[in-house]
Structure 1
């Protein structure tokens, strides 16, 4: 069997890897600069919304990009996503106040969602099943160099020049990747059976337009919930109620039937992805802020916790991609969930001043190892159980669950942090509360990890059953 860098796959593998290097570098660099940016723009109370807005907009990019990739191939969705991501990064980097900064983050999210789901479709459509675990390992390995360079370089630039230079550099790199690496990915076309809603990855009776409208409704609802977490006074409760109502009206349209009930098989895979990612992303979002504001650590040193987490994630992903694993992939996912939960619990202790500040950073590093086992396994199982003309829709469902659950949890934790916030340097209780909530959610992921094995994959109608309505 040909390898990832054999002649048939070399150009495509290099293009996918290069794009993920950009995604990794952007995420780590911008995360390092974010605490300084929101402080300079006098927007500490909107810190969680800066992440939540990105994730909410990603919902639209994910759904629209996934549907377009199923119908037309992933190339156009990738091109549009990179262009949108660059524009949003430039807008945020030139913002003089929080409103345009938040708008830029939303435009970033719109593009980032389309890029990620398009790349998932490339993996599912252009590589045979035995190569997919190795491809996911390579994708995770793409975080190694950015994790070593991104936080320290972004921290140094932020301290010596300005956080704006970090955003401007990411915008330029996005355009470079779009120009240089897009051509090999354009060669991956749509599946042969196109022209019907079913072939485009859209459930029977729905159109791409309806799914796009549902995605916008979900994104608005998620954004309102995220804003409610940062709002003060009596505004918060009505905003949160309206946001939850919008989510309830539309989210079922975009997820496999049975997802919200944790039905065994594909629905539980999708929900597990969302719950686990939400817990991890919440911890990852607040640890740099805790280290800088509560412990007085420099942005460069705080950013190194992201480096350690990315390296441990890459190591675990390489481990799960080995062809000689002694356990099933479902068991690997369960082990990853358990490690993630234990690490999330450790971050609570990292808030205590009696312990070194590195305790919280260690918790994030161990959590990264757990996620390196869990997320690639979920991605491989999902692609294996998806028909070629549903890989975009099912990959979009994974990303949607990831983004939506993260928006909800980050928004809730942002509200909890604001309620418990006193002043910088005296917020140990507020941070402990945030990490305790994240650890509880990570515990829920452990329960979901036990529900991904029930579908009989030897049954030729297993995939049909997983998508059948209740």
Structure 2
């Protein structure tokens, strides 16, 4: 009975991810990936146990927060390791391979999770991951140990200030998400100073002159964030559409999400294959254009006439949902690979962890933003007794506007930088 916690259930994970990615980025650049990897896996494991045995929503949120800390660390270690272990021409393929590392979980986990919810106990969603975590740790430990830096190679970096900035940023985000999920009241006035105060700690964790958007790294970081706003704005709230509008069960919803995982990874591999022949601006235009088509199909599916004679969606509306998911996820996967490849190509040697940190912070903030804003829209719609289709349309129109902003604002800027680079 925690529907009002829906957006915060995602946000609690993502806010602590901010701390994890900063901590991991600095520690990887200083010592190598092994030590921080072990800390992250222990935190994630404790989070699984706490969430699995939680007796209240508060306890579940704390478990999710620990999982977010470990998840943020794992994200940074994974992408930093690509730069540490592979040559530039190999990295686009490795990013695609990294996508495959979540295609199997993305295919199986929603289906298995749906089965747990429908037939067993939701707690097994968390507890069943513990053996997998232990096996992964045993496999990764000896390989990451080879990439650790010796004492002579270790760098001295100002970690305290950056972690302090991450803590401030996560705390301010939590305040903003909490206020925005409340009923309209005087508390909403706190959103203005909260957003203003976020500016300083955020900039402390980003590359220099971030808001100037004057170089490739800063541009693709912003676009990377928009990829996550767009795709997760669809995926997080898709189960509400499938269950409340289309009368689908949890297993069928999981299969639909799995289709998106497949087409995301297919697009990522395609982008890796053609990256040498297709510039970043063209790839991003294609990717966000496809996402926009998928989003419009999702919005249309909310109003597609259903057959009232039986439970579940009609063949036509089901086909529209699958097509929408396949197209939107394909475009998102293409844009994601393009952004990460371009960011790593713009990274100076020895700062791989810093770039991975920036990518992780941007992605976490973006998912947290859309889950918080979307949760607020859902709660407002519930209080105003609006139809579910209306609230979901509002959220998905926001993601469509974000996709359009990339096509008409950021793609031209990136194309100009590419032209200037070729001229030089």
The two structures share one fold, judged by TM-score above 0.5: yes
Moved over 6 A (4+): 456-459
Q: Give secondary structure in 2 for the equivalent of 1:386.
A: coil
- Structure 2 residue corresponding to 1:415, chosen from 376, 401, 406: 376
Query: Does residue 98 of structure 1 match 2:49?
Result: no
Count of aligned residue pairs for this structure pair = 410
- Structure 1 residue corresponding to 2:47, chosen from 88, 92, 102: 88
How far apart are residue 278 of structure 1 and its match? Answer: 1.2
Q: Give secondary structure in 1 for the equivalent of 2:331.
A: helix
**Contact kept? 2:298, 2:321, Cα under 8 Å:** yes
**Contact kept? 2:29, 2:155, Cα under 8 Å:** no
How far apart are residue 450 of structure 1 and its match? Answer: 3.4
**Contact kept? 2:76, 2:353, Cα under 8 Å:** yes
Query: Does residue 449 of structure 1 match 2:400?
Result: no
**Contact kept? 2:216, 2:343, Cα under 8 Å:** no
**Contact kept? 1:156, 1:300, Cα under 8 Å:** yes
Q: Give secondary structure in 2 for the equivalent of 1:327.
A: coil
Matching residue of 2:312 = none
CA distance in 2, matches of 1:235, 1:406: 26
How far apart are residue 449 of structure 1 and its match? Answer: 3.3
Unaligned stretches of 5+ residues in structure 2: 307-316
Query: Does residue 139 of structure 1 match 2:109?
Result: no
**Contact kept? 1:78, 1:118, Cα under 8 Å:** yes
CA distance in 1, matches of 2:372, 2:394: 13
Query: Does residue 160 of structure 1 match 2:119?
Result: yes
Cα distance, 1:155–1:112 mapped onto 2, change above 3 Å: same
How far apart are residue 400 of structure 1 and its match? Answer: 0.7
The aligned runs of 1:41-120 (5 Å cut-off) are 42-120=1-79
CA distance in 1, matches of 2:384, 2:191: 25
Q: Give secondary structure in 2 for the equivalent of 1:255.
A: coil
CA distance in 2, matches of 1:306, 1:327: 28
How far apart are residue 457 of structure 1 and its match? Answer: 10
Query: Does residue 302 of structure 1 match 2:263?
Result: no
**Contact kept? 2:107, 2:254, Cα under 8 Å:** no
Unaligned stretches of 5+ residues in structure 1: 1-41, 198-206, 463-470
Farther-moved stretch of structure 1 (156-165 vs 220-229): 220-229
Cα distance, 1:261–1:344 mapped onto 2, change above 3 Å: farther
**Contact kept? 2:96, 2:265, Cα under 8 Å:** yes
Matching residue of 1:229 = 180
**Contact kept? 1:309, 1:369, Cα under 8 Å:** yes
- Structure 2 residue corresponding to 1:257, chosen from 198, 205, 208: 208
Higher RCO (CA < 8 A, seq sep 6+): 2
How far apart are residue 152 of structure 1 and its match? Answer: 1.7
CA distance in 2, matches of 1:185, 1:51: 29
**Contact kept? 1:417, 1:433, Cα under 8 Å:** no
Matching residue of 2:396 = 435
Cα distance, 1:332–1:456 mapped onto 2, change above 3 Å: closer
1:395-415 C-alpha deviation (Å, 9 max, x unpaired): 111111111122122211211
CA distance in 1, matches of 2:370, 2:214: 22
The aligned runs of 1:55-454 (5 Å cut-off) are 55-190=14-149, 194-197=154-157, 207-234=158-185, 236-322=187-273, 326-354=277-305, 356-421=317-382, 426-446=387-407, 447-454=409-416
CA distance in 2, matches of 1:243, 1:85: 29
- The CA RMSD measured in Å over matched residues stands at 2.4
How far apart are residue 337 of structure 1 and its match? Answer: 2.1
TM-score, normalization by structure 1: 0.81
1:418-447 C-alpha deviation (Å, 9 max, x unpaired): 111269994111111111112112222333
TM-score, normalization by structure 2: 0.90
**Contact kept? 1:305, 1:362, Cα under 8 Å:** no
The aligned runs of 1:17-56 (5 Å cut-off) are 42-56=1-15
**Contact kept? 2:180, 2:188, Cα under 8 Å:** no
